[in-house]
Structure 1
Amino acid sequence: MIAEIGHFAVILALIASLIGATFPHVGIARNDDRLMILGGRMAYVQFVCMIVAFGALMYSYVISDFSVLNVATNSHSAKPLLYKIAGTWGNHEGSLLLWALMLSLFAAAVALRGKRLPLRFQSRAIAVQNLLGFGFLLFIVATSNPFERLDPVAIEGNGLNPLLQDPGLIFHPPMLYLGYVGLSAAFSFAVAALIEGEVSPAWARWVRPWTLAAWVLLTGGIALGSWWAYYELGWGGWWFWDPVENASFMPWLAATALLHSAIVVEKRDALKSWTILLAIIAFSLSLLGTFIVRSGVVVSVHAFASDPTRGIFILGFLAFVIGGSLALYAWRAPSLVPGGLFGMVSRESALVLNNILLSTFAGVVLVGTLYPLVLEAFDGSQISVGPPFFEFAAAVLMSPLVIALGFGPLLAWKRGNLSRAARILLPAFLAAVLGGIALTLSAGTGVVMTAFGFALALYLAVSVLLEIAGRIQLFKAPGKAFGRLRSLPRASWGMAFAHFGLAIVILGMTVSEAFTDETLTVLRPGEGAEVGDYVFTLKSVEGTTGPNYTAVRGTLDVTENGRLITVLTPEDRVYTNPVTNTTEASITPLFSGDLYAVIGESAGGGAWSMRLYFKPMISGLWVGSIMMMLGGLLSLSDRRLRIGSPEGRKKHASVKTAGGDQATKQPSSDTAAASAKVETPA
């Protein structure tokens, strides 16, 4: 009965999304406010229905209802409760249901937080959100019903893929989906603006917080995924440029470009057409990731196997959304009036350079990801585009971006002074040069690129500190610096944290990739192996059991100069349902780096194969990612950037609605850009 309730709730949500996608446009055509607000109400209905549906599927997993095909295929009664819950979205049907739930959540959020927007614009945006929800719900109902019954009822389930039975994979997919779907709000605002034919600074203020929230969630989702790959797969790496990994990275690059481009629209009323295009591209790349994961075109630990019917449906939906939005853009973009002008040396130009480099890199990743798939589809040839291609592109394109990140905040709007910014950044350049030289001298030859990456990280970190010092006039009026520091807006702190976090990420990537010590060896109890400055000594190997697996666990003492640093306990597990062998690395993070051990197969005679690492500064990858997320959250908490529309002094600007006498009030902010009146054309 619970499964039928869930299925019925999905159908109700489908109907509500269809009504919410069509009636607001009819209401605008007829100038009927009741029909215009119907889209928001249907978004609420859709959200409630999706909560019921997802709750019904999760309940079926928790009680191990093997009369539901999805549960019987992806769960097992002996599985720990936590992984029964995670199994709800650890499969094709359940993950799609989660995606649809997230879409309904953002549709309801736009309806709730968008009440201060002009009614025409609000109803357009919500209608687009509802249309996206309709597409995914139709996909679920037509090809991917998670509530399909199994007859006869299975006695026991097959179990979830053991690689997914991990705490990191509990939070990674929901956070990543929230980031993907969060970009749908920016997409809906862009399509609504194209239909209405106007993009204003106020529009940029509306869209930027939604994009920022999605960017924070995407950053967290990608960081969690890399962390899971690092400690769960047992190969010592954290990123392999897998097509499914790239599918999450490309929207992140586009969203980063969109964030910076929207600033130019807000502050200078420029780059309107380009910003609209970025909003379309960012969400389109999210949909492309859905196609890659669920069409069956790639084989990956991240991907869901799928039949051709599903792949064709997704491809058709992809063509409709992306093709339709780009066609609308081609039709309406020429009518967008260009805004303010700016000089070649200005903050706007720095942000344009930022956009060009990020977009180019996203394009390179897209080509590298799709080229092997397209080539195989046309002539059956199988090639692989490996990490060297992507890493070379990253070095070439991202290095100028890092340098521009130092200059950008120091340049004035409209017309900046490049020589003044260079003088301010002189300590950053000196730190970079000295750091690069010191690394080269200490490490010897063959580390030129490593020294360059190290220098870039130092440059960016010091430039952030110099920018903050300049804001508070630390060197001009040090007595008042602390007071100015306290009064800095949270958005400024957010930018500083995000850029400094990126510097730490670059530092962690550069040092860990260049200076990792790795030893592949065979050890018997009592024997040891040197890895860098540490000695790993195998003490014992014992059998152990878990809730749904058996394992061989090794115990290793790690010492430095005879002093015990830590005890590592890697495991080699064999799961029973389904029968799968996995490695569980044992990791101890230190300030200087990670001690990492993986136990392999028995080599006979009481000996065991071991993979031992010391990975210096690799934790910088995740510490820096957390700082970037914190920076985004700080900016999002700034009262001038609240989701939906800005809130400032209780002074309002009238917003004319086409064809009507009633004016909608919009709060104005402290800035001139957001206090400008916004007119929606008839």
Structure 2
Amino acid sequence: MENASLMPWLAGTALLHSAIVVEKRDALKTWTILLAVLTFALSLMGTFLVRSGVLTSVHAFAVDPERGVAILLLLALATGGGLLLYTLRAASLKAGGLFAPISREGSLVLNNLLLSTACATVFLGTLYPLFLDTVGGSKISVGAPFFNTTFVPLMVPLVAAMAVGPMLAWKRADLPGALARLWVAAVLVVVCVLWALWAHGFRPVMALVGIGMAAWAFFGAFAELAERVRLFRIPLGDSLSRAAGLPRSAWGAAIAHAGLGISIAGMVGTSAWMSEDVRIMHPGDSASLAGYEFRLESVEPAQIANYAAQRGTVTVTRDGQAVATLHPEQRFYPVAKMTTTEAAIHTTFVSDIYVALGGKAEEGDGWTVRLYYHPLVPWIWFGAVVMVIGGLISLSDRRYRLGVPVRRASPAVGGRSAAQPAE
């Protein structure tokens, strides 16, 4: 279900970068228009998937087949109409300026190619099982292994090019020269990888690659700004003056790219270094996980307005110091005759700790307790917030504000005045 929102995000990101080439070089106009149509279509597709009931998920909204048909008709009308107009009018658009493959435009084309391919991969993995089921084929499930095999290899060169692209000149650029200006970022990447190696070892090796890519995106985002203000090559005061004079779009782009690096680090950390433990615990028992000590103090019944619960009390300590007191619950809703598990979560800047209370043991006063430690999960959401902030800063750039045409009165002709648009 999450793919419903990922697809328009990928297409929209490609659209934003393609629009830069249209603005700067008057190129890729037909491709940018096509991306705009497809991005809107994928947004409607996401709405259809979460509203129609064709996908079953806890994240889906209320199922309403009639509403799903209406959204599908809107999708067909908007997409079909947009593609029809595109087919009729695309040939009338003049081609823009030419550019070499190694150039700022070339890097943005590579960006579009990888993002569009990734979007098509997610689209195929999401809708192919539905299509196969509709035509009477066997039911299949496309899970994480498919996306890890197809999606991740596309993201690696995308992140690698993210830091290099802003260093390239328009029309034609010197790639070795651009890479040479990223040596400070490369050194910091090595430092981050060595830290991950010291903290977690070689397992898994791909986690080291992921941390390296995250650091490359983060530090590379600001390397271009440092190059533009000539940091450490001229007096610091002059560099600060140059920084103050940079357009907001430059700051916004760097901040957004840095936010993506933060989110990548969070994804790598929680997928590669998470720890979990499931065990039977009695009141007074303790368990260790990821350097934390969990002690089940008690499990007591509780009656709330619309449900009854068994509420546990778990104290969490680290090196003898109290960290948190968590209260996971097993809830029973008598009206719906439904039992749910409510995990207790303790969040810090660098990790999330989850404790979930399972069923009661068949004998004695033991309970099934699930303990989870997810490092760097908050970085995923923090990076997303940073990306949004970067986008808002870019949008606030005066160069992207379009003035509204103002009509002014022309000199009176024959005793009457006529309004004319201002030049």
Give TM-score, length-normalised by structure 2.
0.91
Answer whether contact 2:350 2:379 (CA < 8 A) is retained.
no
2:390 matched residue in structure 1: 631
Distance of 2:64 and 2:398 partners within structure 1: 48
Separation (CA, whole Å) in 2 of partners of 1:628 and 1:310: 33
Aligned residue in 2 for 1:286: 43
Structure 2 match to 1:353: 110
Q: Which residue of 2 aligns with 1:393?
A: 150
- Residue 503 (str. 1) matches residue 261 (str. 2): yes
Count of aligned residue pairs for this structure pair: 411
Native 8 Å contact 2:278 2:369 kept in 1: yes
Tell me if structure 2 keeps the 8 A contact 1:571–1:585: yes
Instruction: Give, in angstroms, the shift of residue 382 of structure 1.
Output: 0.6
Rounded to whole Å, the distance in 2 between the matches of 1:472 and 1:395 is: 34
1:592 and 2:350 aligned: yes
2:400 maps to which of 629, 636, 641? 641
Displacement after TM superposition at 1:416 (Å): 1.8
- The reply on whether 1:619 has 2:378 as its aligned counterpart is yes
Counterpart for residue 142 of structure 1: none
Aligned-pair RMSD on alpha carbons?
Answer: 2.2
Q: Which structure has more strand as a fraction of its residues?
A: 2
- Whole-angstrom CA distance in 2 between matches of 1:470 and 1:327: 45
- Answer yes or no: is 1:448 the counterpart of 2:200: no
2:244 is matched with 486
Other structure's SS at 1:429 match: helix
User: Structure 1 residue aligned with 2:131, among 357, 374, 379?
Assistant: 374
Instruction: Report the CA distance shift for 1:665/1:453 in structure 2 as closer, same or farther (over 3 A).
Output: farther
Change (3 A) 1:352 1:547: farther
Change (3 A) 1:534 1:308: closer
Q: Secondary structure at the match of 2:96?
A: coil
Distance in 2 between residues matched to 1:496 and 1:577, nearest whole Å: 52
Which amino acid letter does the alignment assign opposite residue 475 of structure 1?
F
C-alpha distance in 2, partners of 1:405/1:445? 26
Structure-1 separation of matches of 2:395 and 2:175: 30
Q: How far is the alpha carbon of 1:574 from its aligned partner?
A: 2.4
Q: Percent identity?
A: 48
Task: Tell me whether 340-349 or 442-451 shows the greater mean CA deviation.
Answer: 442-451
Q: 309, 322, 335: which one pairs with 1:551?
A: 309
| Structure possessing the higher relative contact order (Cα contacts under 8 Å, 6 or more residues apart) | 1
Task: Answer yes or no: is the 8 Å Cα contact 1:501–1:625 preserved in 2.
Answer: yes
User: For residues 586 and 489 of structure 1, what CA distance do their matches in structure 2 show?
Assistant: 45
| Corresponding residue for residue 411 of structure 1 | 168
Distance 1:662 1:374, change over 3 A: farther
Q: Is the 8 A contact 2:125 2:142 kept in 1?
A: yes
Confirm or deny: 8 A CA contact 1:347 1:412 kept in the other structure. Answer: yes
Please name the residue that 1:458 is paired with.
215
Runs of 5+ consecutive residues of structure 2 not aligned to the other structure: 409-417
Q: For residues 401-451 of structure 1, what are the alpha-carbon distances to aligned partners after superposition, in whole Å with 9 as ceiling and x for unaligned?
A: 111110111111222221111001122223334533553455334421111
Amino acid at match of 2:27: A
Residues 428 and 460, structure 1, Cα contact 8 Å, conserved in 2:
no
Alignment of 1:295-374 (within 5 A): 295-304=52-61, 306=63, 308-374=65-131
Shift of 1:274: 0.3
Residue identity opposite 1:631 in structure 2: G
Cα deviations across residues 69-105 of structure 1 (Å, max 9, x unaligned)?
xxxxxxxxxxxxxxxxxxxxxxxxxxxxxxxxxxxxx
Offset at residue 375 of structure 1 (A) = 0.3
Q: Which deviations, in whole Å up to 9, do the C-alpha atoms of 1:199-235 show, x marking residues without a partner?
A: xxxxxxxxxxxxxxxxxxxxxxxxxxxxxxxxxxxxx
Aligned-pair distance for 1:306? 4.1
Distance in 1 (alpha carbons) for counterparts of 2:62 and 2:173: 53
Question: In the aligned structure 1, how far is the partner of 2:419 from the partner of 2:158?
Answer: 47
Q: Secondary structure at the match of 2:2?
A: helix
Aligned to 2:320: 562
CA contact (8 A) 1:639 1:646 kept: no
Distance 1:306 1:571, change over 3 A: closer
